[in-house]
Structure 1
Amino acid sequence: MSTAEVDISRTKAWVMAVRPQTLPAAAAPILVATGLAIHEGVFALGPAVMAFVGAALIQIGTNFANDYYDAMKGADTDDREGFTRVTQAGIISPEQVKLATILTFALAIATGTYLVYVGGVPILLIGLVSVFCGWAYTGGPYPLGYHGLGDLFVFVFFGVVAVMGAFYVQAAATLADPLATTIPEGTLTREAFLASLPVAGLSTAILVVNNIRDLETDAETGKRTLAVRLGYQWSRLEYVAMLALAYATPVWFWLGEGYGIAVLLPLLTLPYAAVLTRTIYTRTDGEALNPALEGTGKLLALYSLLFALGVVL
């Protein structure tokens, strides 16, 4: 094998470890928060870009940690039907994946220094807790994902915290002095919280698909995800509930918050959501659910883009 072939193979291996199909969960909160910031007249490009970089690094670091710790704990086996895990498959050594986890989280913290300058102490606390929970999702003495808390973690940190945090740093850059020690007025709003709910719901739905697919193998290896605890039927209902939350939110913005009818643009994605839901309700195998997982990620990205556009219009 040539050096070029080795390099290509190694590059592909690291792309597999990054899990690009999950990255819409990092971009979606920034899209929605930026749309709301434009609507409120507090858009700030620098903080928006750096918020995306930080969110993407936390997502990738969490993926690396998940890959490493699931392999070390024996949760990933040859029977698993999901996307290839590079540590368990022996494609990349455990030591390298662990080092990549540490370096990625360190980069996220380094990126956050600019956001701390803009947003002050509140962003410092949010950033450190987010990095810690990203590691604790599968690492540490009480891994969240192994005790049925993964869905709550994703809903809170990749939804509510991510959207409100991205809005906060833009508003703080516009309305407040740097290095604030308290929360400046106008930086945390009811609208930002409401706008975070669709992102939280659809991000959690991605995890639900993942856990439905792995339900049986997770149960065999002692990984007690929420899907393992609930079973297939209730997990499918959770998926539908997360989608229902997402699609109810634009209607509330229109009827309850006085936004224009353009805010209903995300409803254009309902047919695609229905197709995905049908798959979730009729299949349990990786052949069907791996594309459904990617499809839910695409749904999140498209929904968030349309929602942001609708809020701006």
Structure 2
Amino acid sequence: MAEDKKIKTNSVKAWLLAARPKTLSGAAVPVMIGVALAYVDAIEYGTDSFSWIAALLCLFFAFAMQIDANFINDFFDFVNGTDDAETRLGPRRACAQGWVKLESMKKAIAITTCAACVIGLPLVYYGGLEMVLIGMICVVFAFLYTTYFSYQGLGDLLVLVFFGIVPVCCSYYVQLHTFTWQVFLASLACGMVIDALLIINNFRDRDNDREAGKNTIIVHLGAEAGLQLYIGVGVGAIILGGTFLMNGHILAFVFPFIYLVLHFITYLKIKRIYQGKALNLCLGETARNIFIYGVCVSVGLLLL
């Protein structure tokens, strides 16, 4: 608490904490995988259409949308009473702690939303007008996730779509103007890996969420089912990674087993700790594991 008092309202440090820079790895991983797949296939098809500018635009758009979603989540969870400075178990949030004023957060949401649109607009040149529709859907669901879907137990589905299918497939599409079954299955695997972060978050907050009327999948199914879901998404991602093996990308299939070992170790820690703020250690480990998965798949693709 003493540390909280040192953070001045609307200071640079306050905004950095509100942006949650550690979550940016989750935004980067799907783009990394989509770009790696596109780069390898561009070489295989003998096309010179691959553009690093388009790849960077996808990455920066993902970063902007992630920060925007974090601001939206911070604001609406506090307004709806889901975040409480006294009962919250997870990392402290800017609005709930008074680090950022509500009016300032409203303006920040407007700015980051516009910034994401400006960053993403040039992708129309590479991927066509359909990129406008994709961008609009991303913005709309960034709001709907916190304000509606997360309360209905549909947050995991949205993670699968917007941290798996959409970023991986779109990062590939803007390069080669198509996508394959391999890309789609890789996007599902990526979404499952990143969903582990939401699962551990909801597992930790299950009691508070139940009281707040936030019916996450963990609240619906219970803690034990949540544990099985956590280990299940990791194993499922590896199984889906068999598509790399069938397409000759042996290392892209083998390297992620490093991730699976780390994922299983984190699962055992979650099972042992089971509840309380101590689970935040597992939250950090899960974020690390996600990044390692992205590196393993991307490097595995590029090396062979």
User: What is the TM-score normalised by the length of structure 1?
Assistant: 0.88
Q: Give the distance between the partners of 1:272 and 1:287, measured in 2 at CA.
A: 21
Q: Give the distance between the partners of 1:99 and 1:211, measured in 2 at CA.
A: 28
What is the match of residue 230 of structure 1?
A: 221
What is the match of residue 100 of structure 1?
A: 108
Q: Give the distance between the partners of 1:73 and 1:196, measured in 2 at CA.
A: 32
1:247 aligns with 2:238: yes
Q: Does the aligned pair in 2 maintain the 1:197–1:245 contact within 8 Å?
A: no
User: Once the two structures are superposed, what CA deviation does each residue of 1:43-89 show, in whole Å capped at 9, x if it has no partner?
Assistant: 32011100011011111111110100000001111211100011111
1:136 aligns with 2:126: no
Q: Does the aligned pair in 2 maintain the 1:44–1:171 contact within 8 Å?
A: no
What is the match of residue 181 of structure 1?
A: none
Q: Does the aligned pair in 2 maintain the 1:30–1:52 contact within 8 Å?
A: yes
What is the match of residue 40 of structure 2?
A: 39
Structure-to-structure mapping, 1:189-268, within 5 angstroms:
189-254=180-245, 256-261=246-251, 263-268=253-258
What is the match of residue 19 of structure 1?
A: 20
Tell me: CA distance 1:38–1:76, structure 2 relative to 1, closer, same or farther (3 Å): same
What is the match of residue 307 of structure 1?
A: 297
Pick aligned residue for 2:151 from 138, 146, 150: 146
Deviation of the 1:9 alpha carbon:
8.2
Q: Which moved more, 1:275-284 or 1:64-73?
A: 275-284
Q: Give the distance between the partners of 1:33 and 1:286, measured in 2 at CA.
A: 36
User: Once the two structures are superposed, what CA deviation does each residue of 1:176-210 show, in whole Å capped at 9, x if it has no partner?
Assistant: xxxxxxxxxxx121121121122101111101111
Tell me: CA distance 1:19–1:262, structure 2 relative to 1, closer, same or farther (3 Å): closer
Tell me how large the CA RMSD over aligned residues is: 1.8
1:188 aligns with 2:179: yes
What is the match of residue 71 of structure 1?
A: 78
User: Once the two structures are superposed, what CA deviation does each residue of 1:144-179 show, in whole Å capped at 9, x if it has no partner?
Assistant: 11111111111111111110011111223xxxxxxx
What is the match of residue 80 of structure 1?
A: 88
Q: Give the distance between the partners of 2:130 and 2:112, measured in 1 at CA.
A: 22
- Structure 1: tracts of 5 or more residues without a match: 173-186
Tell me: CA distance 1:6–1:218, structure 2 relative to 1, closer, same or farther (3 Å): closer
Q: Give the distance between the partners of 2:16 and 2:139, measured in 1 at CA.
A: 21
Tell me: CA distance 1:14–1:260, structure 2 relative to 1, closer, same or farther (3 Å): same
Q: Does the aligned pair in 2 maintain the 1:202–1:296 contact within 8 Å?
A: no
Q: Give the distance between the partners of 2:130 and 2:189, measured in 1 at CA.
A: 24
Pick aligned residue for 1:118 from 126, 129, 138: 126
Q: Does the aligned pair in 2 maintain the 1:87–1:94 contact within 8 Å?
A: yes
What is the match of residue 46 of structure 2?
A: none
1:162 aligns with 2:164: no
Q: Give the distance between the partners of 1:85 and 1:19, measured in 2 at CA.
A: 9
Give the aligned residue type for 2:51. A
Deviation of the 1:96 alpha carbon:
1.1
Give the aligned residue type for 1:89. Q
What is the match of residue 182 of structure 1?
A: none
Deviation of the 1:7 alpha carbon:
7.2
Q: Give the distance between the partners of 1:280 and 1:120, measured in 2 at CA.
A: 44
Q: Which moved more, 1:59-68 or 1:190-199?
A: 190-199
Tell me: CA distance 1:84–1:189, structure 2 relative to 1, closer, same or farther (3 Å): same
Deviation of the 1:31 alpha carbon:
0.9
User: What is the TM-score normalised by the length of structure 2?
Assistant: 0.91
Give the aligned residue type for 2:194. S
Q: How high is the sequence identity, in percent, across the aligned residues?
A: 34
Q: Give the distance between the partners of 2:96 and 2:175, measured in 1 at CA.
A: 41
Q: Give the distance between the partners of 1:75 and 1:194, measured in 2 at CA.
A: 34
